[in-house]
Every structure is written in C-alpha cells, then in structure tokens.
Amino acid sequence: MGYLYLFLCFLQFLVGLGLIVVVAMQESKNDGLTGQIGTAATSSFKGKAGREEHLNLMTRNLGIAFFVISILVAFGTNRWYHWGG
C-alpha cells in the first residue's frame, strides 16, 4: 500500500501543477456581472471548439481528477474516519 500511496501523491502533485498551468493560460473575462447571468458565448468555427473551450474542458477534467485523487489519498492515510473527533 505504501507504493500506491506514494504514486497517488505524486500523481496528485502533477495534476495540481497541470491545473495551475491551465488556469493561468486562460484569459480573464472582465465582464462583471453581465457574463455571469446565464449568457454563454461560444467561439466555435465550423463546429470545432476554440482554444477557450478546450482550456475550459481541460480545467474541468483536471479539477475532477484532482478531487478524485485527493479522496483516494485521504483514504490511503487511514485517517479519513477520524473526522468526527
């Protein structure tokens, strides 16, 4: 179990770095509240997703992977059941 735990920690580190890089590559949208109230603009050309859509998809997938790996690492420490006190 020790090697699996170390592998998961290393994988979590790599996914975290990837998540930081992908988020840093995204352009900031300074729309204020106008972009937050249900308006979604897509920039696809001939049905192909643009750079921003790919970055958003990568951000979502890396975030989900980081969450799942974090749960697995928590189970690997054998301390997850001590949350109650």
The predicted model gives 61-79 an average pLDDT of 88
d(CA 82, CA 85) in angstroms, rounded, equals 6
Reply yes or no on whether the pLDDT at 58 is more than 70: yes
Question: Who's near 74: CB < 8 A, 6+ residues apart?
Answer: 80
pLDDT above 70: residue 83 = no
pTM: 0.68
Residue 49 has pLDDT above 80, yes or no: no
User: Confidence class of residue 56 from pLDDT cuts 50, 70 and 90?
Assistant: very high
DSSP-assigned states of every residue in 50-66: -HHHHHHHHHHHHHHHH
The C-alpha atoms of residue 6 and residue 26 are separated, in whole angstroms, by: 31
Q: Count other Cβ atoms within 10 Å, centred on residue 25.
A: 12
Tens digits of per-residue pLDDT, 25-48? 988 766 555 555 555 555 555 556
Q: What is the mean pLDDT of the chain?
A: 79
**Domain edges within the chain:** 1-25+47-78
